Amino acid sequence: GAVVSQHPSWVICKSGTSVKIECRSLDFQATTMFWYRQFPKQSLMLMATSNEGSKATYEQGVEKDKFLINHASLTLSTLTVTSAHPEDSSFYICSARDSRTTEDEQFFGPGTRLTVL
Amino acid sequence: AQSVSQHNHHVILSEAASLELGCNYSYGGTVNLFWYVQYPGQHLQLLLKYFSGDPLVKGIKGFEAEFIKSKFSFNLRKPSVQWSDTAEYFCAVNAAGTYKYIFGTGTRLKVLA
């Protein structure tokens, strides 16, 4: 149980275009999901907390208009990188928290590698 | 603000050697602690976690970690590493009752066959 998927696993796009990444909890409901960014050889940095049915909470320094988050259902959150630029190239990882438990554990997706040309 | 430090950035060991990776955090309240492993080209996998109780936690693949509250530490150990343990290891902390994880910078372990 507690499986999180991401789609696509990798994407290459041209500068100026927008890219949408999906994060799904496959066998549990997640009122809260998280989006992280991982630069090469670096750690995961939390970008935002996605809350089902309400606005996402962004970490300091993360542009809300650049990284649009939608958590429209209990099993799906999407991250849209708008007007992507080469500096947005990174590994984006989502995680989800099982709504049925009170534990603080998060379950991580496999990540999406974004390359902006 | 919370922070997590992993002092060993790169570790190289021979097979059968013992492993200890350091993790220290800064936060005065109750915390939950995690160790994750990321094998090359793969996603994060949970090795072990500590929420409360026995401070010596046993995880998968022969790993264990000890929570020492007085030292704000949660070091990861394995008595005898294998070549397949080559991976990057991340320590993570969150303040109990919150959902936000703070990750350490990671330790890249290479085990020589």
**Span between the terminal Cα atoms of chain B, in Å:** 41
B100 touches chain A (CB under 8 A): yes
The mean of the pLDDT values for chain B is 92
Between the CA of residue A59 and those of A36, A52, B70, B77, what are the distances in Å?
10, 17, 30, 32
Sequential DSSP letters for A2-71? --EEEE-SEEEE-TT--EEEEEEESSS--SEEEEEEE-TTS-EEEEEEEETTS--EEPTT--TTTEEEEE
**Which residues of chain B lie closer than 8 angstroms to A108, CB-CB?**
36, 43-44
Q: Is the pLDDT of residue A26 over 80?
A: yes
* Interface residue of B8, B21, B38, B44 to substitute, partner A, most A CBs within 10 Å: B44
3-state SS, B26-76, equals: ECCCCEEEEEEEECCCCCEEEEEEECCCCCEEECHHHCEEEEEHHHCEEEE
Strand A112-116 to strand A90-97: parallel, antiparallel, or no bridges (unpaired)? antiparallel
**Partner residue facing B44 (CB), from A49, A103, A108:** A108
Burial class (CB in 10 A: 0-12, 13-18, 19+), B81: buried
| Confidence at residue B2, expressed as pLDDT on a 0 to 100 scale | 78
DSSP 8-state secondary structure symbol assigned to residue A75: T
Mean pLDDT of A51-63: 91
State the best of A104, A112, A113 to mutate against chain B, taking most chain B CBs within 10 Å: A104
Comparison of pLDDT for A95 and B29, the residue scoring more: A95
Out of A56-60, B45-49, B93-97, which region has the weakest mean confidence (pLDDT)? B93-97
Asked if B99's CB is within 8 angstroms of A104's CB, the reply is: yes
| Cis, peptide link before residue A8, omega less than 30° from 0 | yes
Reduce the DSSP state of residue B103 to 3 states and report it.
strand
The pLDDT assigned to A99 comes to: 80
Query: Mean pLDDT across the stretch A71-99?
Result: 93
CA closest to B105 among chain A residues: A43
- Determine the distance in angstroms separating the CA of A48 from the nearest CA of chain B, rounded to an integer: 9
**DSSP 8-state secondary structure symbol assigned to residue A74:** T
According to the model, what pLDDT value does residue A1 have?
64
Nearest C-alpha neighbor of A39 from the set A117, A110, A114: A114
By the 8 A CB rule, do A25 and A59 touch? Answer: no
In angstroms, the CA B43 to CA A45 distance is 15
The gap between the terminal CA atoms of chain A, to the nearest Å, is: 37
